[in-house]
Structure 1
Amino acid sequence: MIVPETQIRTAEAGDDTVLAELDRATWSPLHAVLPAPTEPYEPFFDTRHPPEDYLVAVVGGEVVGYVRLGLPTPLAATAHVRQIQGLVVAESVRGRGVARALLRAATDRARAEGARRITLRVLAHNAPARALYASEGFVIEGVLPGELLIAGEYVDDVLMGKSLLD
């Protein structure tokens, strides 16, 4: 099956419901540190996470994924760093380059904002995500052993990053 071209754009307030539904449909202990979302949906956007923090992937006119890009801390000392704080892709388009397109768009945006580094955190047991990040130039910069308790098991938190100075 030929997939239409993926378009990436900044999220809009009207994307709230579709992004909440996407979060619910894709929730898994493989990548989630929060409990599964329930109905009725909480608002997807809030004062800490406004639409402009998100890039969405659109395929065939349908929103099929998002990446949230933010500052790692509120400190001026980390203003040169951007952090990927969430990456979600609909099951129907997985394996078709949508996550890669979102990662590249987030990296481009970080550079455009003057960032020198981009970082992320990923659960150690999420091998597909770790492989994707590594293929995009992210390297492991640290591991927090047993940092998270998920579904009754302790899971390592893997810190990855890359320079944007190339």
Structure 2
Amino acid sequence: MSESHIRPALRTDEAALGELDRDTWSPLHSVQPRPTPPYDPFFDSNHRPEHFLVAEDADGTVVGYVRLIPPTPLACNQHVRQIQGLAVAGRARGRGTGRALLRAACDEARRQGAVRMTLRVLGHNKPARALYESEGFAVEGVLPGEFYLDGRYVDDVMMGRGLGSLTG
């Protein structure tokens, strides 16, 4: 199991998170081109520190993050949170860091009053899909061939799970 500690992101994590994001970039999970210098800031008006939870090793090194936000600004959709980014450093993979981040995101979503969690994952990203399914996420929709990545068409898979009661 993970030795990682999960905590809210701080503005001072920006450099470490940017480096982690660049180091973990892959067409397995990204629809954006590979980042090249000069690099954009990790935090901006749509990606604020309060949207992120980070995983740290025992020595305080940032080894992962998850981005958790409301999927829309609509009041009628505020009971839902969406994961829009999950990354784990290569040296922290296989130690439960991704699972710990996912569970912490669900806990944080509940703390914020959410009763439902959604995410999108590329169809060919079998490791991520297996993790999400093992944590109770189910496929709720597929956009076949939505992206053309690395020379092939790739499905965009929508997944979701409940976090509590959907009665209201």
Q: 4+ residue stretches of structure 1 with deviation over 2 A?
A: none
Partner of 1:41: 39
Q: CA deviation at 1:76?
A: 1.6
Task: Give the letter aligned to residue 32 of structure 1.
Answer: S
Q: CA deviation at 1:41?
A: 2.0
Identity over aligned pairs, percent? 64
Kept in 1, the 8 Å contact 2:124–2:154? The answer is: yes
Unaligned segments of structure 1, at least 5 residues: none
* Aligned-partner Cα distance in 1 for 2:146–2:73: 22
Unaligned segments of structure 2, at least 5 residues: none
- TM-score relative to the length of structure 1: 0.95
Task: Give the letter aligned to residue 145 of structure 1.
Answer: P
Partner of 1:99: 98
1:16-165 matched pairs, under 5 angstroms: 16-60=14-58, 61-165=60-164
Q: CA deviation at 1:4?
A: 7.2
* Aligned-partner Cα distance in 1 for 2:72–2:33: 23
Aligned residues: 164
* Aligned-partner Cα distance in 1 for 2:130–2:93: 14
- TM-score relative to the length of structure 2: 0.94
* Aligned-partner Cα distance in 1 for 2:97–2:2: 11
Kept in 2, the 8 Å contact 1:70–1:83? The answer is: yes
